[in-house]
Chain A
Amino acid sequence: MSQVPEDLKYTQNHEWVRLEADGSVTVGITDHAQESIGDLVFVEAPEPGTSVQAQEACAVVESVKAASDVYAPISGEVTEGNEALADSPEAVNSDPYGEGWIMRIQPADAGELDGLMDAAAYQQLVADEG
């Protein structure tokens, strides 16, 4: 069973979202997502300053099986992309909720976070897909 930390928010597209103390959010793909797509060989994180709409594809993760888009969970501006993943995309596989984070976004409307799933709802989604 894959890990679904209690303190994070989740999307239908298998991204996780963590609200940081400074009001920005950190985004990555879930343990379940990294497990399904397999060993990553390439991650393209967005450039800082990119403005993104919720549900918009803004990063790419490529594994030995396929390339998949990563969608912005909420609208806002990208403040940072995880540059370390260019050299070590495997961090997404080994530590999806830690070193494998993909981008930080400054939300346009923090209220959008309430529309995301909590851990229990996401766990249910994964179970339903199985």
Chain B
Amino acid sequence: MTEESEAVLIYDISREGRRAYAQAPSESPSAESIPRRFRRQTPPQLPEVSELETVRHYTRLSQKNFAIDTHFYPLGSCTMKYNPRGANRLAMLPQFLERHPLAPDETGQGFLACIHELQQDLAVITGMQDVTLSVMAGAQGEFAGVAMIRAYHEARGDSERTEIIVPDAAHGTNPATATMCGYKVREIPTGSDGDVDMEAFKAAVGPQTAGIMLTNPSTVGVFERRIEEIAAIVHDAGGLLYYDGANLNAILGKARPGDMGFDVIHMNLHKTFSTPHGGGGPGAGAVGVSERLLPYLPIPRVTREGDRYRWLTETDCPQSIGRLCTFNGNSGVLLRAYAYVRMLGREGMPRVAEYSTLNANYLMKRLQEEGFTVAYPDRRASHEFIVSLKHEAKELGANVMDFAKRLLDLGYHAPTTYFPLLVPEALLIEPTETESKHELDGFVEAMVRIREEARENIDMVKGAPYRLPVRRLDDVKAARELDLRWQQAS
């Protein structure tokens, strides 16, 4: 093993005087034509490596990736499903790739037609009136949604509404969004069956309620059964309902947030609609609205007039809350989502929900049979479920983080850890519809094996991981002494 193969930063393999083309004759272009005052006086600190070394360095780094393309990745609430190569191929057609984004609408009718159809398809899938695609990711979609709720109340002169209700199981982004939009967060507890605590909910609703933010199925992995009653109570009080689309995968083609009574929804196209995720992103947080929020929907969106498509702007939508990005959204991502939606069609959509919930329930049952504790044993899982490792933590000394790190050694990306917080030692597991039974069985075996290892040698488990490029990281130091700046070794 050479030093080069262990390097994380390209600067680590820099050697003075090394250049890209060793044999090709090269001539440095002269900077004389640039006025002296614009020229830098000291050379930039660039790594000195050959072209081949550069390629090898980044290829090696890419081989260290722990990704959906290399490993089972059951990260709860993140829907790490396979991104079909077909969708990728279609979005990369040269007619899309080489189109100039500022080209006039007349020369981009094909692209605009795809965007318009995706808007319409997503509106049908979610039961909403219309959809905007120019929102860059989920958290921004939430912001757009709550900003529209605020615009709606303000347009009616209803300024006494100061609170947004958020269940304690919600994603952290929900209370953050409500606060960003100037609302006070009113937290309500979750009952022991996983549904919202109705008494606490009713007590929290009043004339001060601007709205409620819910995920259904919720973050504890069960379907909120009294959603219609909740919607009626919120609407009766004059508030609106926000749907966090993080868990939409579970109900795709089966149930629609619009039919449940939601007024606004964001969808994570990088989760439910299978576009690349995380570091490979970018994301896309499409937002859909019911009739009453339609005037406030962000622009730009595509409209169809006769057989022509064009972008809607401020002139068309004077009440719109405006633009959430300076351009037209992550169009490459939108095209992948469009291809995915069209490939699945009306028949394929419900199968996503069926297989993702089947996989989750199979995995939950298998882990239960092996003696692991499920947080809501009386409820059928949706597309994800929670295992609580409180017994393993207490009796064996192996907590969620220890299991998570050891899973990496065994070739499985860890599920979501310590979330939601209301379940002690929580592992939130979402297998998605694109994994085989064989893969799920392998994961169960890994969990059982780690428990055995903890019984025999707890120190070994606490020391994991052993087979990754880095060992156990110091989370506390990383949070308290964050230092992302590279400095030349002196």
Query: Which one of A41, A67, A90 has the highest number of Cβ atoms from chain B below 10 Å of its Cβ?
Result: A41
Binding site secondary structure of chain B: mixed
- Residues from chain A with a CB closer than 8 A to the CB of B475 are 39, 64
Contact of B421 among A64, A66, A130 (CB under 8 A): A66
Is B52 in contact with chain A by the CB < 8 A criterion?
Answer: no
Contact check, B390 vs A130: say whether CB atoms are below 8 A apart.
yes
Provide the bound-state CA to CA distance between A54 and B475, in Å. 33
The smallest C-beta distance from B170 to any residue of chain A, in angstroms, reads: 12
Considering the chains assembled together, what is the distance between the CA atoms of A3 and B172 in angstroms?
A: 30
A residues within 8 A CB of B424? 36, 129-130
Restricting to A40-63, which residues have a CB under 8 Å from any CB of B? 41-42
Contact of A66 among B390, B418, B480 (CB under 8 A): B418
Q: How many residues of B contact A (CB 8 A)?
A: 11
**A66, B419: Cβ atoms closer than 8 Å:** yes
Compute how far the CA of A79 lies from the CA of B475 in the bound complex, rounded to whole angstroms: 33
Check: B31 CB closer than 8 A to any chain A CB.
no
Known contacts A39-B475, A41-B476: A65-B390 contact under CB 8 Å: no
Partner of A39, one of B390, B421, B476: B476
Chain A residue nearest to B478 in the complex (CB): A64
The residue in chain B whose Cβ has the minimal distance to the Cβ of A66 is B421
The reply on B479 being an interface residue by CB < 8 A is yes
Max chain A Cβ within 10 angstroms of own Cβ: one of B172, B419, B476 = B476
Complex: A125 Cα to B337 Cα, angstroms: 48
Q: Would B421 and A65 count as touching, CB distance under 8 A?
A: yes
Q: Is A68 an interface residue (CB 8 A)?
A: yes
Taken together as a complex, chains A and B put the C-alpha atoms of A14 and B480 apart, in Å, by: 25
- Contacting B at CB under 8 A, from A75-130, are 89-90, 129-130
Chain A residues contacting B480 (CB-CB under 8 Å) are 41-42, 89
The smallest C-beta distance from B425 to any residue of chain A, in angstroms, reads 9
8 Å CB interface, B418-461 against A: 418-419, 421, 424
Q: How far is the CA of A15 from the CA of B347 in the complex (A)?
A: 53
A41–B476 Cα distance when bound, in Å, is 6
Pairwise interchain contact A68-B479, C-beta atoms closer than 8 A? no
Q: How far is the CA of A66 from the CA of B418 in the complex (A)?
A: 8
Give Cα A77–Cα B390 distance, bound, in whole angstroms.
38
> How many Å lie between the Cα of A77 and that of B480 in the bound state?
30
Q: CB-CB < 8 A to A38: which residues of B?
A: 418
Residue among B390, B419, B421, B479 making CB contact with A41, cutoff 8 Å: B479
Does A68 lie within 8 Å of B421, measured CB to CB? yes
Kindly state the separation between the CA atoms of A130 and B388 in the bound complex, as whole angstroms: 11
Which chain B residues border A36 with CB–CB below 8 Å? 424
Do A42 and B479 touch (CB < 8 A)? Answer: yes
Contacts of B172 in A (CB 8 A): 66-67
B175 to chain A, nearest CB (A): 10
| Chain B neighbourhood of A130, CB < 8 A | 390, 424
Q: Whose C-beta in chain A lies nearest to the C-beta of B421?
A: A66
A36, B475: Cα distance in complex, Å: 16
Contacts of B418 in A (CB 8 A): 38, 65-66
What sequence of 0s and 1s flags, for each residue 457-490 of chain B, a beta carbon within 8 Å of any chain A beta carbon?
0000000000000000001100110000000000
Residue of B nearest to A130 (CB): B390
Give per-residue flags for B172-196: 1 if the beta carbon is below 8 A from chain A beta carbons, else 0: 1000000000000000000000000
Closest 6 CB pairs of A and B: A41-B479, A64-B475, A65-B418, A39-B476, A41-B480, A66-B421
Q: Which residues of A come within 8 Å of B, CB atoms?
A: 36, 38-39, 41-42, 64-68, 89-90, 129-130
Known: A38-B418, A42-B480. 14 other contacts (CB 8 A): A36-B424, A39-B476, A41-B476, A41-B479, A64-B476, A64-B479, A65-B418, A66-B172, A66-B418, A66-B421, A67-B172, A68-B421, A90-B476, A130-B424
